[in-house]
Amino acid sequence: MSDALIVFERTRKAFGEHVVLEAVDLTIGRGDIAVVVGPSGSGKSTLLRCVNGLEPISGGDLRVDGISVRGPERDLRRIRLEAGMVFQQFHLFPHLTALQNVMFGLVRVRRRPKAEARERATSLLHKVGLGSRMGHYPSQLSGGQQQRVAIARSLALEPKIMLFDEPTSALDPELRQEVLKVMQAVAQTGMTMVVVTHEMGFAERVGSRLIFMEAGRIVHDGEPGRLLREPPSERFRDFLSHVR
Amino acid sequence: MSFDWASVVAALPSLLEGLQLTILIALTGLAGGVCLGILTGVALAHGGFLARNAAHAYVAVIRGTPIVVQVMFVYFALPMLLGLRLSATSAAIITIVFNSGAYNAEIVRGALQSVPRGLSEAALSMGLPFRSVLAYVVAPIAYRLALPAMGNQVVNVVKDTSIFLVIGVGELTRRGQEVMAETFRAVEIWTAVAALYLILITVLAYSLRLYERWARLP
């Protein structure tokens, strides 16, 4: 068993004529907290969505814990069980309460008994600070609360990897911190994380790697503190001045 | 000319019998039509090449022909083609099921496609197979989106049953016609018939609205 959890190998992604990822080579190791940044349209969200097969890749290969995303659907489902995803728009199931949202995967995917699922979901919701909101429907929760439920929903399946797709971009500034705090707590459990975000503070505090993308390529990949202190390129410096 | 209540009272037993048959045809038609509509709607939205095109063809045929012609075909032509016997009531039920099924299919397709894609993606990304995503995430949201349009369909189906008088089904309108032929009390009989439809449809539409409110998400 190798320590490389996610391996991009000359991974290419195009929507018709439009190339979004150009032959990306990237290896994410166990326990990495990789923060992916870049201007919009640079391909960072697509990079993330290729990992769990929400976007099929157009060329090269991409393996998650040794399983290729080019395999049959059964393989894709195994990958998805290992790699949970948190979305910019939360995407909680609106017809289920917070508790039922977190129980959903345990009951429907892992086929655990309801009582056990309820117990685990309850403890997870307490961990993300929503013990008092379990019976609320998504529409009755603030954006920050919804996103914390979404994180708990993904964690319930006990994934090896957590993928975050701009998890705070849809939130008001005062609600971002509560989500970032939960993400930091997840990071401290040793979870492997890939985080697409504009939160440079999070990258510096929590990230073990900072990846800067532009036009479908990885331009920089290194230790966050150093990259942020001494931006190695004019482009990156320029980008930082816009997001900070 | 005065309104002769006595002729209404005299006609009532016969009209109520007709109403019973109207309700029977409408309710079986609705139940069958909803099932067929769901199957066809799912095929339209998510079916493979074959299922999708078969569904398209079916909807096109039903929408492109009058329901009177459909029931004539089912009652007179189909038995000749297949060598079977059909009662007028069975022919009426078959026709209304296939007719409303096609209209329901379009409603179901629209509702399925109105469910935000992100919700399916969230469910897929948990490792759920697509079928289960449809069943546990898309369907519970889609059916709520479809309810208002379905309310219209319920009303249409009840009214469409009156067309079956052309093949001699003894539903409400046909019974009205028969009583009329004996008594010639046109005003009283057609008022009574109209009132019975109005009551039936109002009750159905109102119950559906109550259900819609009950099913609404917070």
Give the number of other CB atoms < 10 A from CB of residue B81: 8
- For the cut 70, the answer to whether the pLDDT of residue B33 exceeds it is yes
- For the cut 70, the answer to whether the pLDDT of residue B202 exceeds it is yes
Chain A residue nearest residue B132, CA to CA: A108
- B64-71: average pLDDT: 97
Nearest CA-CA distance, residue A104 and chain B, Å: 9
Interface residue of B117, B126, B145, B147 to substitute, partner A, most A CBs within 10 Å: B126
Alpha-carbon Rg for chain A in angstroms? 18
> What pLDDT, on the 0 to 100 scale, is given for residue A1?
42
A91 close contact with B: CB closer than 8 A: yes
Q: Which parts of chain A fold into alpha helices (H)?
A: 44-51, 73-82, 98-108, 114-127, 143-155, 173-188, 200-206, 224-229, 234-243
A94 close contact with B: CB closer than 8 A: yes
Answer whether B217 sits within 8 Å of A108, measured CB to CB. no
**What is the percent of chain B where pLDDT is above 70?**
100
Cα Dmax for chain B: 74
* pLDDT tens by residue, B153-165: 999 999 999 999 9
pTM: 0.90
Question: SS3 for B140?
Answer: helix
Which of B122, B127, B217 has its CB closest to that of A95? B217
A158 close contact with B: CB closer than 8 A: no
Chain B CB contacts of A52 under 8 Å are 125
CB A138 within 8 A of CB A92: yes
**What is the percent of chain B where pLDDT is above 90?**
95
* Residues in chain A with pLDDT values less than 50: 1
List b or e across A159-184, with b for residues whose CB sees 16 or more CB atoms inside 10 angstroms: bebbbbbbbbebbeeebbebbbebbe
> What pLDDT, on the 0 to 100 scale, is given for residue B3?
87
**What values do phi and psi take at A185, rounded to 5?**
-65, -40
Nearest CA-CA distance, residue B32 and chain A, Å: 26
- Both tokens of A19, joined, read 């190339």
In B42-82, the DSSP E strands lie at none
Chain A residue nearest residue B129, CA to CA: A77
- B68-87: average pLDDT: 95
> What pLDDT, on the 0 to 100 scale, is given for residue A55?
96
> What pLDDT, on the 0 to 100 scale, is given for residue A243?
85
- Rounded distance between C-alpha atoms, residue B23 and residue B18, angstroms: 9
Chain B CB contacts of A154 under 8 Å are 126
A29 pairs with which residues across the strands? A4
Chain A (203-242) residues lying within 8 Å, Cβ to Cβ, of chain B: none
- Rounded distance between C-alpha atoms, residue A60 and residue A70, angstroms: 9
**Residue of B169, B166, B172 lying closest to B197 (CA atoms):** B172
- Rounded distance between C-alpha atoms, residue B157 and residue B128, angstroms: 37
Least confident of A112-116, B1-5, B127-131, B175-179: B1-5
Report ipTM for this prediction: 0.93
- B106-110: average pLDDT: 97
For chain B, what is the mean pLDDT?
95
Residue A223, by phi and psi: left (phi above 0), alpha (psi -120 to 50) or beta? beta
Chain B CB contacts of A150 under 8 Å are 122
A80 close contact with B: CB closer than 8 A: yes
